[in-house]
Amino acid sequence: MNKISKTTILGFCLCLLVLILFDTASAQVGTVTGVVLNRGNVPIPGLIVSLVHPVAGRSYPISTDSWGRFFFSNVPLRNDPYYLEIYWGRDLMYRNTVIVNRDINMGNIMLR
């Protein structure tokens, strides 16, 4: 009886540990940066950039700055891919997958 109780307590503690570890992992966030250029390698300012995931939802849309740069912070880390979307106004210009399991620099993204 005493052995069963110990096993039960041990199992409970293990479950709690797994839950805590899972919770810690799910709270981790990363950054995604990049630069958007046109075919003449000229940075494109004012594009709307958004990260979207079928389950995690969509990020707050941001816009590229005068140098075509964008920066997302607080992106929940995941092992399945996000979609990075780039809009000219409401027109979708670019969509590609990106796995954000750490801080990601996407480098130059060419719209051609």
CB of 100 closer than 8 Å to CB of 59:
no
Would you count residue 56 as binding another protein (CB under 8 A)? yes
Binding mask 16-35 for another protein (x = CB under 8 A): -------------x------
Half-sphere exposure of 53 (CA within 13 A, CB side): 16
CB of 86 closer than 8 Å to CB of 48:
yes
Would you count residue 99 as binding another protein (CB under 8 A)? no
What's the CA gap between 5 and 62, in Å, rounded? 54
With CB under 8 A as the rule, give the number of residues binding another protein.
42
What's the CA gap between 101 and 43, in Å, rounded? 27
Candidate residues 1, 23, 42, 107; the one interacting with another protein per rule CB under 8 A = 42
Residues that bind another protein (CB under 8 A): 29, 38-39, 42-48, 50-52, 54, 56-61, 63-66, 74-76, 83, 85, 87-97, 111-112
